[in-house]
Amino acid sequence: MNRQRHKAPSLRPLVGLVVVVAMAGCARPSGLARNAIDTGPDDAVLQEDYDPWQPFNEAMFDFNHDVLDRWIVKPLATGWAAVTPPIARRSVARVLNNIDMPRRFVNNLLQARPLGAGRELARFFVNTTIGVAGVMDIASEFHLDPSEADAGETLALLGVGPGPFLVLPTLPPTTVRDAIGRGLDSLLDPLSYLVTTPFFVGLTRSIVSAVNERSLNMQLYDNVEESVIDLYSAARNGYLQRRHQTIERAMADRDKEWMWAARDEAPDTAHVTNQVVTVALEDPT
């Protein structure tokens, strides 16, 4: 295998790398300028994948892959996959997603997306009751899909710029804004309020999530490492582009929820036009 930066981040959540690397290979068209997307509040894509701390980031990326992923996460994921059937591992992922509802609910409210917040509540109620604490995703059968709302996205919709790209030990790729948002979201973890050592609860949950998601995507990880020459750049570019698209969707959803307000303020042009036509027809001159 060509080992020219065949790396992957680990821990919270490890599957994020799979998504961004896959997108880096298929979502960025060949020859497309990085500043081709010029709408929305998130200007990370506009800044040539802004990475002024690249030496530090690459060192952290190497540590996450060569130490954490290779010697801890991947062996644990391999063992977990060997003793646990896929249906059970998918159930674990659904339970963790269900527990994460407060983060999505609060951020939907802060983003002025009340319908999105309502869907999160309805989804949580359905999956917690009928879905047995989230083991089954019954809510999706009723088209109650989860959002991706988080504090970093909320800050973006409030006009906060992404800042430099950033990689930290044990964490997936991020930006300064999204790293701050991740810290704020940790305050919304319900498990942290049920025990006296919330740090270890959060750490344990992150490890379980990372190992479980890694076990569900073993072959995809291998394929990515084999096919991508510079995985650091692929993860960076893919993360920034995916993040831009996620924020664009959040803006579109917010605007869609408030379209009724814009319609109420707009003049009834059709009614005015009909009145003008009627007067013209009745006027003999």
Q: Any idea where the domains of the chain sit in the sequence?
A: 15-266
Contacts of 244 (CB under 8 A, 6+ apart): 37, 40, 42, 44, 45
Q: Give 10-residue mean pLDDT values along the chain (285 residues).
A: 42 36 32 33 55 96 92 95 96 95 97 96 97 95 94 97 95 95 91 70 84 93 86 93 96 92 58 47 51
The widest CA-to-CA distance across the chain, in whole angstroms, is 91
* Per-residue model confidence (pLDDT) at position 128: 97
* Per-residue model confidence (pLDDT) at position 48: 55
Contacts of 51 (CB under 8 A, 6+ apart): 57, 164, 165, 236
**CA dist 194 to 103, 129, 133, 199, Å?**
16, 21, 17, 12
Cross-strand bridge partners of residue 166: 174
* Per-residue model confidence (pLDDT) at position 274: 52
For 35, half-sphere exposure in the C-beta direction (CA atoms, 13 angstrom radius) is 4
Judge whether 117 and 107 are in contact, CB under 8 Å. no
